[in-house]
Amino acid sequence: MRRGMGNQASPPIMGETNKSESVQRLDLSVDLAPNSPRHLWLANPVMIASGTFGYDGYGRGITEDMDLGQLGAVVPKTFTRLPREGNTEPRWYPQSYREAWDAGDLLFLNAIGLTNPGIEAGIRDVAPTWDQWNATCILSFSADTAEQFGEMATMANQGTGFRAIELNLSCPNVEDGSLFGHSAGLTAQAVAAVRAETDLPVLAKLAPNVPSITDIAKAAVNAGADALTICNTMPAMRIDTTTRKPVLGNITGGLSGPGLRPISMALVYQVSKAVDVPIIGVGGIFSGEHAAEYILAGASAVQIGSANLVGLSAPWRILTEFEDWMRQTGVSGLNELTRETPSHR
């Protein structure tokens, strides 16, 4: 079930088009944390996904003409407790998503390994610069233990430049080797540890390859998550038949792009029937119509990932296309789309 649209507290910004009197005005605003005293109002539902914001994940390559304030929100790359160098090269397949897209090769894999400077440097040096963008930024972090998740939330309380936290739960718990996002119990521990240390809105990003994503989603919500991001990449690999070796240095990686979209959309739909918090759909969104599909499946907002790596201007194009789709179909507000969510058959 979707929350965050319609008759909540009034948003600070309403998404609308005012190019001329003849253009239909749209209410694109959405609250991703309606149960939080802080709320998380976005001007529109189009966000940039963690790890794909610019060429380095932290905005390199974003130019002055790319007005981030026109987007719903930005989630810069995940921070970990300590700095990480990342996985062995090559980390991307194909090496150029843009060239692959132009050639019709839509199988996108990556195994970055969360390369980042660590949360201390992130809070001290990186996050404060986000204020210059006039955008709603969301801090993403990952941890090795539930206790460490809580510790990082405490550190986040001292930071600036962001209005919410997204928990990357597709990471191993060093205490027993399990992935947080693969266990309802571990997910609950991680979310609860963060919830106990901060009143910032908390988004939990879930993994797709689990026995029951609805059980894990419920555990996250019951532990205090204000919204859910669905989903992270899907484990995958490819082998070069010429070299007879995997195309990634890490052997396996994460599948993103068009191949992930129908998987993620099905998970969004399932979870939307099981929980009563906003859901952010992510995976293979390359057009405004793809965004509309996710909204119709039960999402309140969407994150653009691989499309950014094809072209950094993708989020703005997708937002414009989504607005055009709404006008063409006679929809003036996101809350109208909630009535169109398909029912079980």
> What CATH number has the domain bearing residue 52?
3.20.20.70
pLDDT of residue 21: 45
**By percentage, how much of the chain surpasses pLDDT 90?**
85
Q: What's the rounded Cα separation, in Å, for the pair 102 and 144? A: 39
pLDDT of residue 172: 58
The answer to whether residue 16 scores a pLDDT higher than 60 is no
The CA–CA distances, whole Å, from 295 to 69, 78, 80, 164, 205 equal 21, 25, 31, 22, 17
Within a domain: 51:
yes
Q: What's the rounded Cα separation, in Å, for the pair 50 and 114? A: 11
pLDDT of residue 170: 83
Within a domain: 238:
no
Owning domain of residue 139: 30-88+104-233+256-340
Within a domain: 5:
no
> Total domain count for the chain?
1
User: At 215, is the secondary structure helix, strand, or coil?
Assistant: helix
Residue 254: strand pairing partners: 110, 235
Within a domain: 6:
no
Q: Which residues are catalytic?
A: 171
Over residues 244-271, the mean pLDDT reads 96
- For the segment 97-120, what is each residue's pLDDT rounded down to a tens digit? 999 999 998 999 999 999 999 999
Residue type for 92, please? W
pLDDT of residue 297: 97
Within a domain: 98:
no
Over residues 184-206, the mean pLDDT reads 97
Q: Predicted confidence band at 22 (pLDDT cuts at 50, 70, 90)?
A: low
The whole-model pTM stands at: 0.92
Q: What's the rounded Cα separation, in Å, for the pair 260 and 247? A: 19
Q: Predicted confidence band at 275 (pLDDT cuts at 50, 70, 90)?
A: very high
User: What's the chain's average pLDDT?
Assistant: 91
CB 285 within 8 A of CB 305: yes
Within a domain: 296:
yes
Over residues 301-318, the mean pLDDT reads 97
